[in-house]
Amino acid sequence: MLCAFCWTLIVWIMPGCTDNFDEYNTNKTQLMELSDTDLGGLFSKSLGSQFENINYSRGKGTISDHLSGYFTSTFTIYEQNTINTGWITRIWATYYTSALPALVAILDLTKEKNPVAYSVAMIWKCYMMQRVTDYWGPVPYTDAASGKAVTQFESQKDIYYNMFQDLASAVQILEEKLQKEPNLNVFGAADMMYNGDVSKWIRFANTLRLRMAIRISNVDPDKAKQEAEAAVAGDLIESNNDNAMLKTTQITSGGNGLSNMWAYFQNIMSASMESLLKGYDDPRVGIYFNKVDAANIAPSFPDQVKGNAGGYHGMSNGFESVYAAFLKAHSLVGDRWKDDNWNITPIDYIHAAETCFLKAEGAWRGWNMGGSAQQFYEKGIELSLKQWRSDLSDGSIRNYINSTLTPVAPDNYPYYDPPMTDIPVKFSGDREKQYEQIITQKWISIYPESMEAWAEYRRTRLPKLYAKKYSGNGNILLSKNMIITRVPYPDSEKNSQPEEVAKAVEMLGGPDLESTPLWWDVHQNGN
Amino acid sequence: MKLFLIMRLSIILFFAFVFAVQAESFSQSSNLKLDLSKTRLIDVLDEIEEQTDYYFYFNVNLDNYRVDRVKAENKDIREVLDLMLPDLGLDYEIVDRYIVIKQAGEKSPEHSVNFSMQQRINVSGKVTDLSGDPIPGATVTIKGMNRGTITNTDGSYSLTNVPGNAILVFSFVGMKSQEASVSGRTALNVILEEETIGVKEVVVTALGIERNKRTLSYATQQVDMTELTTVRDASLGASLSGKLAGVNILTSSGTTGVGGASRIIIRGDRSIVGNNQPLIVVDGIPYSNSGGINFSRKSSTDGFSDVNPDDVESINVLKGPSASALYGSDANNGVIIITTKKGKSGMKKVELNSIMTVDDFYLFPDFQNEYGQGAGSMFIPNSEYSWGPRMTGQKVTDWTGKETMLTPQPDNMKDFFVNGYNFTNTLSYTMGTEKTTTYFSYSNTSARSVIETDRLQKHNFNLRLNTELIPKLKLDFKITYLNHKLVNSPERGDSYFSTMHQLVRMPRSLRTEDLKVFEYFTPEGSRKQNFWNLGSTSMQNPYWAMYRSIVPATKNRVDIFSTLRYDLADWLYIQLRGGADFLFNDGENKVYWDAPYINSGYGDYQTQFNKNQNLNGDFLIGINKSFSDNLFSLNATLGGEIKDSKYRGQTSTANGLSSENKFALNYAKTPGTSDSESRIQRQSLYGMVQLGLRNYLFIDFTARNDWNSTLPSPYDYFYPSVGMTGIISDMVHLPELFSFVKVRGSYAEVGAGANFANIFQTFGRTVNGPVGYVYPNTTKMPTDLIPERSKSWEAGAELKFLDDRLAVDFTWYKSNTFNQLMLVGVAPSSGYNESWINAGNIQNKGVEVVISATPLKKRELLWKTNLNFSRNKNKVIKLANNMEKYQIGSAELSIGETWAIAGKPYGELYTKGFVRNEAGQIIVDGIGMPKIMTSADLYLGNFNHDWTSGFYNSFTYKNWELSFLVDLNYGGVRQSSTESQMLFHGTSKASLYGREEGLIVPGVKENGSPNDIVVTAEAYSQLLGGRAGSNAGEVFNHKATNSRLREFALGYVVPVKSRLIKSLVVSAVGRNLFYFYNGCGWFDPESTYDTNVNGQGGESASLPGCRTLGFNLKVTF
């Protein structure tokens, strides 16, 4: 009783005015404003908010992981080309309302007073935005995460041109600063990629510029050549020490999302992978995939898959639903990505091998890359083998490079396809075959970065992956050799700014469907 | 057994307590100690009452009787009275513990000379109330004679020497007086009715002010409490279903089991993103409706159900802003005012109310029992589908490795369930002297839903004290304590641990006995799930889901309030009130190892603590005065209030356990913790003035100014209301038919503040990476908020006919909410998901009709009926500039998308449908499958009913009482995700279409030619069905119209002749007995799986439909 009386009294003794209102209305668990000390935290956030960390299954697992041909997804309906519009809204938000706002906050804070942080943030923005535009096509780049009432979409060409420029100026600023201060560091430990080493960010930027140049080589060859040669004039990711790999050891939630796929048994070896890796007797197979675990094979499985135990076996992309029951009799993604390793195994963004294959393609196109296509091709293979198998002797690497083995017919019940293609590893004299070899070996070396692999597959239609066996999507007709070539716009964007999305569709040059090719993809898709 | 032990213990405790308080007075019951001089007799008698447990009654006006001196030491009461009274010409009679003071001449009826011509008889009988409780202390007088008596503790009386043709008048405070003619009878039992209908009806209005209902300018509706205490749902909200016009109640217990929350909407939805539920006020103090612990997809309870229905004296619903203007913004959606019981003076009563009900499950989705586990017509023992071969008893090797016959298992789902139950026992004690009253109650509830692990334990304690501290200064004090424990509430909707979600998809050939062995131990001692498709990320053994994902939650709640009221004059009082509401929640979420989807099979552990503290202090000055012989009257209240709400909560997550099933954060794989904190303070000044003319015309004004800490400086907003009431039947002479006619009208404006810390742009920080992650909040904060405002009009009439036998209450209302604080979705490419804006104009217009009647009123037969009807028409008049439609948040994975669209009603539902040509034919694609829209463009309907109604009847015959409630809600739609999932998995009857030979979708190809491509039932069903978002939602749409026998009770007042038991009532009760019609077939359209979202209409994994049957026992000692 006393208690309630006391309260009544206290209430009326309390200052009967509004002096404390602003204090009451202050959020104690949030920051009210940002300062320079928050730059690191913002950068970590923008690094750690990719599909590799969050939304892996939605953003990669059910899209690029199987469309790239690396994996067959055990998530049947998505493997059969279904698009989940609700998930698209989620993955769009991964970039635009999670990773990019943190990055744009850095750009806003540092534009005037910290050009080094600004430039590194800009390089990372270009990397993320390339992934975004290569999924959807025209997207907001300049206005991205700007908080403006209307966020303008830009054509993919404009985005590429803007990014070339932004990368060039960032590299220029950083090189100047680095000359004055050779050990220049930014963001320190918060930079989970390069630990703040600015020189490595320059390499990253130039490699990205080269990658972008190659991407537009079919649609805008002059600009491509110009940008590629400019990029190669600077430092690139040339050694495996420079690889762009995001450390996950201090991440407490997020981490390497591919580990979740291991846990869910969602990503298994594709038949295309089986044909290539087994055919080439590729030393990377044991890293990339697991042998089939006999414990996963139920007594009721048909004899044709029972024999898979202990070997590497892939499943055909687009398998028919009825075979979903036997997926456990196939090779799961490698132990490097097993579930416990989500905060151990780093996330792969760019490997040095890719730089070589990009240069090889440039040289093959006749651009000045500082060497021959074969030179870069073989260097690329060597770097990739050393990256994944440091135990390999130089001899066995040389044997692989000179191998004339060709892909084999996969043991893929019930389809039993022929070998995927007939090219060996050994560099061919035939120009067409050379091109196929460069792209095919690049495809193997980029693994498991399926977003890049899918983009390159759409650009080159290489490697010659097996077509999907079944499509549950009426927009993707297998009879017309159609493939999914982009991701449709999210409902969230269509609902909130329909006019801008309408303009974007116009810039896209086709309907907002998963079958419309992007600007740099010059292939007809079924029409 | 345990239950009884607790009860016994509580009784002992309770008596110990009461005796401690009362010990002194009891021990001196007849040993008076008095020393008074020159006092009024009345004061002497008061003093005697204080010292004894006797009560005085007098038919004589004692005001002018004075006593010169009375001195007594350890005297018996009779001695004192014998000494004092004869001198004054008075006499007394002791009946049990009551003492009747009378004129000396009346002492012996034998000497009376009046009525001597008539035959004299002795009359005796019993006076009870409607529920059969005896009424002690009721006066029984012989009409026309200055004679009478008082009923004793068991309600009985006896009068001697009564003229055979006399008329007896029975009366008691708060009851309607009743006359009965003796007509030569010697036994005369009388039932007194509470004075509920009638012009003197007092209702509790805003701020706890009691007002005469006849003067109110707005509609209110009271709930009959006897219904709530005999037939009851574990959720108090659910118990109100169908009883109130204009009040819609959706409950979640149909999907989340026992203790599920309710969603109560009065007169339509007003807010697009904000709260649409009413304010709950208990004894004048706002009562938090906070849901407690809220783990993802686990149901939460509601605060409303923390009130013990047995403690409730009345529930009054203020429906419109006019009624609630004095409560301010919190009451924008109406107010549910709960008044709890106080002790009654002059009586001592112990009451036991026991309810025992059992839930009998009987409604299931339609399953097919022809095709077994598998896919592509092949038997596959680890398949999660029922697309296998026709079950003909063929030999197969099943998932357990046994060779068995493939046969239908029609009951494999039903076998999972158990009967739910609810046992509630309430023991209440009330006693009081003239000046001090005490009410104490203890109640415990043990309940279980149809899922074995879903149990609830609840204990409510309540102590109320009312006393006059010094003359004219009254104290009213109450403390309640609640302990509420949910052992494990099932996960709701389409989720991994939702048992129902597992059961509806489970293959039709699985055997219950195999499923029941839901786990086994490895040789190393590790606990493993026994499941037919190891490592699945979509399904699991339903038994494992039930036993190995456990979410215990405990709530402790203490409410204290005290009111001090001082009557400065009989027309002026001042009141000071303080209330405190403390809520402590504590919950855990334990997921065992080997659920592959959860942290890679490493299980999980989460803890959540939070505390809510709501403090309320207010003062009131009240004036109630009439002038010039009731020509004018003034009723005014001035007041001020400070309301302060604090919240603090913490959630910790293990993200997997490093040691098998060690549920503590010490074993967390990667612990993560987050805090949340908020504080809101509101200060208010308000006033109400009512001017009356001749007690038949009243004009009301109210005004309130709030200062709210959530707004930018100067923090304040003001809102007024005005109302008018005219009692036509008192103004003019109306035909006999009309016994009462009243018209009323009002206009009110109500403002609202913002949410906590919603006017600043903030940045979040989480522990992650080497230095932590920092990020901007994805909700964009506006810089120029203005307070939200509702403007509402209301008009109504109350008509009573035939001596109040028929009453009609009609209300029309219209309310518009402006400047609504709306969270609008912005283009995510801007970096924000949503932004707060001031926008919108949402209108609700409607009518409510309540008809009550007493069609039959014979001596021993009483039939009372009540019909309520309401229709609300909602219209979104305007959203924001350049905004035509806005998506309202819906429950996770619901098929319908809910929209607010300018020019249309709130809550329009859209989904994906088939693509059709202009002629309405379905278009099929190149593989013969129907094309399905890429976005939700197909209109389904609205989730609100067009109109709702309830029809209540009660019949009393002698000792029997029968009552029932039927409700009928018309219109609206619901979408079933369960059916969509069942079609996908091939478990529903619908999946049988085209199973054997395939099917040709009736439609045309894109070139216009008729479709001739055969597709399999499996491919077709899997395109149409599945998870919300990827399916053809139109197939799963249902009409929400439904009518059911909501409640039924048959009671019998057992005639007991015992000194111990005063009354005994036994009832058979039932709830949701059956549907007269249900547009949704197997699931309850009034059930929801998420009460916290504004977008409703979705069904997902509903538990089997239940009917509740049971008994109620009420004993008064």
Query: Is A240 touching B (CB cutoff 8 A)?
Result: no
Mean pLDDT of B529-544: 87
Q: Is A117 helix (H, G, I), strand (E, B) or coil?
A: helix
CA distance B907 to chain A (A): 17
- Rg, C-alpha atoms of chain B: 33
Grade residue B298 by pLDDT with cuts at 50, 70 and 90. low
Q: What distance separates the 2 farthest-apart alpha carbons in chain B?
A: 115
Q: Measured between beta carbons, which residues in chain A are less than 8 angstroms from residue B774?
A: 31, 34, 38, 41-42, 44-45, 102
Q: Which residue of chain B has the CA closest to A149?
A: B830
pTM here is 0.77
Nearest to B152 by CA among B164, B169, B135: B135
Q: Specify the pLDDT at position B370.
A: 96
Is A198 within 8 Å of A170 (Cβ atoms)?
A: no
DSSP line for B665-708: GGGBSS-EEEEEEEEEEEEEEEEEEEEEETTTEEEEEEEEEEEE
Q: Measured between beta carbons, which residues in chain B are less than 8 angstroms from residue A26?
A: 757, 760
Nearest to B558 by CA among B649, B462, B467: B462
**pLDDT tens-place string over residues B238-273:** 778 777 877 877 777 666 667 677 778 787 777 766
Grade residue A59 by pLDDT with cuts at 50, 70 and 90. very high
Q: Which domains does chain A have, with CATH numbers?
A: 33-260+339-508 (1.25.40.390)
CA distance B410 to chain A (A): 24
Does residue B195 or residue B529 have the better pLDDT?
B529
The whole-chain average pLDDT of chain B stands at 84
**pLDDT tens-place string over residues A25-56:** 888 888 888 999 999 999 999 999 988 888 89
- Paired tokens of B595: 């659920």
**pLDDT tens-place string over residues A63-99:** 999 999 999 999 888 999 988 888 899 999 999 999 9
Top residue of B599, B779, B830 to mutate, by most chain A CBs within 10 Å, is B830
What distance in Å separates the CA atoms of residue A107 and residue A109, rounded to the nearest whole number? 6
Q: Specify the pLDDT at position B256.
A: 67
Grade residue B600 by pLDDT with cuts at 50, 70 and 90. confident
Is A453 within 8 Å of A447 (Cβ atoms)?
A: yes
Grade residue B11 by pLDDT with cuts at 50, 70 and 90. very low
Nearest to B442 by CA among B465, B456, B458, B422: B458
Cross-chain Cβ contact B677/A29 below 8 Å: yes
Q: From residue A372, give the alpha-carbon distance in Å to each of A46, A209, A228, A300.
A: 38, 20, 15, 55
Give the Cβ contact number of residue A389 at 10 Å: 17
Contacts of A2 (CB under 8 A, 6+ apart): none
Nearest to A317 by CA among A376, A381, A267: A267
Q: Specify the pLDDT at position B483.
A: 94
Sign of CA dihedral B50, B54, B57, B63: negative
Mean pLDDT of A443-453: 97
Task: Of B278-292, B412-426, B690-704, B943-957, give the lowest mean pLDDT range.
Answer: B278-292
Is B321 within 8 Å of B750 (Cβ atoms)?
A: yes
What is the ipTM, given to two decimal places?
0.93
Which residue shows structure tokens 């687009």? A318
B window 671-690, beta carbon within 8 A of A: 672, 674-681, 683
Cross-chain Cβ contact A145/B829 below 8 Å: yes
- Categorise residue B907: left if φ over 0, alpha if ψ from -120 to 50, beta otherwise: left
Is B537 within 8 Å of B437 (Cβ atoms)?
A: no
Task: Of A170-184, A470-484, B91-105, B526-540, give the lowest mean pLDDT range.
Answer: B91-105
Contacts of A157 (CB under 8 A, 6+ apart): A220, A519
Mean pLDDT of B517-533: 91
Cross-chain Cβ contact B778/A101 below 8 Å: yes
Q: Which residue of chain B has the CA closest to A479?
A: B926
Minimal Cβ distance to B1029: which of A10, A84, A254: A84
Does residue A174 or residue B155 have the better pLDDT?
A174
DSSP state of B922: B
A window 59-118, beta carbon within 8 A of B: 77, 82, 84-86, 89, 92-93, 96-98, 100-102, 104-105
Bridge-based pairing state of the strands B788-801 and B779-780: unpaired
* SS3 labels along A447-500: CCCHHHHHHHHHHHCCCCCCCCCCCCCCCCCHHHCCCCCCCCCCHHHHHHCHHH
Query: Is A18 touching B (CB cutoff 8 A)?
Result: yes
Mean pLDDT of B991-1018: 93
Top residue of A32, A58, A97 to mutate, by most chain B CBs within 10 Å, is A97
Residue B306 has pLDDT above 90, yes or no: no
Minimal Cβ distance to A8: which of B562, B927, B929: B562
Q: Specify the pLDDT at position B12.
A: 43
The whole-chain average pLDDT of chain A stands at 93
End-to-end CA distance of chain B: 23
Q: Specify the pLDDT at position B68.
A: 79
B window 27-56, beta carbon within 8 A of A: none
Query: Is B927 touching A (CB cutoff 8 A)?
Result: yes
DSSP state of B729: H
CA distance A492 to chain B (A): 7
Q: Specify the pLDDT at position B197.
A: 42
- Catalogue the long-range contacts made by B443-448 (C-beta closer than 8 Å, 24 or more residues apart): B443/B308, B443/B310, B443/B311, B444/B3, B444/B6, B444/B7, B444/B10, B445/B234, B446/B3, B446/B421, B446/B422, B447/B234, B447/B258, B447/B259, B447/B420, B447/B421, B447/B422, B447/B423, B448/B258, B448/B418, B448/B420, B448/B421, B448/B422
Top residue of B465, B576, B774 to mutate, by most chain A CBs within 10 Å, is B774
CA distance B696 to chain A (A): 38
Is the peptide bond between B714 and the residue preceding it cis, with omega within 30 degrees of 0? yes
Best mean pLDDT range from A311-315, B545-549, B759-763, B867-871? A311-315
Q: Specify the pLDDT at position B105.
A: 64
CA distance B560 to chain A (A): 6
**pLDDT tens-place string over residues B789-847:** 889 999 999 999 988 899 999 999 999 988 887 777 789 999 998 888 777 888 989 99
Cross-chain Cβ contact A27/B762 below 8 Å: yes
Cross-chain Cβ contact A16/B683 below 8 Å: yes
CA distance A198 to chain B (A): 18
Query: Is B1068 touching A (CB cutoff 8 A)?
Result: no
Give the Cβ contact number of residue A143 at 10 Å: 20
Query: Is B783 touching A (CB cutoff 8 A)?
Result: no
Q: Specify the pLDDT at position B58.
A: 66
Query: Is A288 touching B (CB cutoff 8 A)?
Result: no
**pLDDT tens-place string over residues A197-235:** 999 999 999 999 999 999 999 999 999 999 999 999 999
What distance in Å separates the CA atoms of residue B1019 and residue B984, rounded to the nearest whole number? 9
Q: What angle do CA A145, A150, A151 make, to 5 degrees?
A: 40
Q: Which residue of chain A has the CA closest to B479?
A: A1
- Paired tokens of B420: 């739910």
Nearest to B298 by CA among B260, B250, B249: B260
Does residue A290 or residue B250 have the better pLDDT?
A290
Is the peptide bond between A418 and the residue preceding it cis, with omega within 30 degrees of 0? no
Minimal Cβ distance to A252: which of B596, B767, B771: B767
Top residue of A37, A322, A468 to mutate, by most chain B CBs within 10 Å, is A322
Which residue shows structure tokens 């490093």? B658
| Helix %, strand %, coil % of chain A (to 5) | 55, 5, 40
Phi, psi of B287 (to 5 degrees): -120, 125
Minimal Cβ distance to A300: which of B397, B772, B1029: B397
- Rg, C-alpha atoms of chain A: 25
Helices assigned H by DSSP within A181-270: 198-215, 221-232, 258-264
Residues of chain A with pLDDT > 90, as a percent, come to 80
What distance in Å separates the CA atoms of residue B277 and residue B335, rounded to the nearest whole number? 9
**pLDDT tens-place string over residues B470-484:** 888 999 999 999 999
Minimal Cβ distance to A145: which of B713, B830, B1023: B830
Does residue A73 or residue B1030 have the better pLDDT?
A73
Q: Which amino acid is at A87?
A: W
Q: Specify the pLDDT at position B59.
A: 59
Is B613 within 8 Å of B638 (Cβ atoms)?
A: no
Query: Is A192 touching B (CB cutoff 8 A)?
Result: yes
Q: Specify the pLDDT at position B81.
A: 82
DSSP state of A322: G
What distance in Å separates the CA atoms of residue A144 and residue A155, rounded to the nearest whole number? 13
Residue A332 has pLDDT above 60, yes or no: yes
